[in-house]
Chain A
Amino acid sequence: DAMVIQNPRYQVTQFGKPVTLSCSQTLNHNVMYWYQQKSSQAPKLLFHYYDKDFNNEADTPDNFQSRRPNTSFCFLDIRSPGLGDAAMYLCATSREVLAGGRGDTQYFGPGTRLTVL
């Protein structure tokens, strides 16, 4: 089945120790998104890629970086995790850029829950 896969599902890191979260998709979608979701809150968009074009949200801290080496994979790098970065990180895809049409659906992976000690 076509899907969005995130690894690992649970990640524990130490304060200040770099960590990388992985997302892959078999949907062949052009757009990939990374969201941060803290407990009982709405998912918050960090950035997205349209193909290789990177789009950062204005309020995303510099501590968060992303790489998309090919269509299938996208990585979230947290350079120096702080306690406030503990959250669920959700990867999502969409076939094309959201443009107000009927196809504006995002497909989410199961998420990676990050714990910072």
Chain B
Amino acid sequence: SQQGEEDPQALSIQEGENATMNCSYKTSINNLQWYRQNSGRGLVHLILIRSNEREKHSGRLRVTLDTSKKSSSLLITASRAADTASYFCATLGTGFQKLVFGTGTRLLVSP
């Protein structure tokens, strides 16, 4: 299976703290994306990083990619209660036209 794995499976922090989630994958990729899913809702695209990039920023989000280790991390700085959601990484493999989603990290940010 190409499916990625994320860790931790669940993360509980206080408002204002930083949250770091990690994603590992198995095959060569064109790009890696992070999506957010609020409980019982659809997914929302957060950020895309291409295989030739090592780091990207978007507001309070910072994504890194290490293709040699087949891993990525998502950092949310100064977290807010509204950041409570599940976060999924998704990879677009070379030669494929579909995204493969990881197992997700459930983030709980307490006020």
Contact = CB atoms under 8 A, between A and B. Distances in A.
B3 A98 contact: no
Nearest to A33: B98
A109 B88 CA distance: 16
> Interface residues of B: mostly helix, strand, loop or mixed?
strand
Interface in A90-114: 90, 92, 97-100, 102, 104-111, 113
A57 B3 CA distance: 14
Chain B residues touching A, range: 20 to 34
A113 B94 CA distance: 32
> Interface residues of A: mostly helix, strand, loop or mixed?
loop
A110 B41 contact: yes
Interface string B71-96: 00000000000000000100010101
Interface of A: 4, 6, 33, 40-45, 48, 55, 57, 88, 90, 92, 97-100, 102, 104-111, 113
Interface of B: 3, 30-31, 33, 35, 40-45, 48, 50-51, 88, 92, 94, 96-104, 106
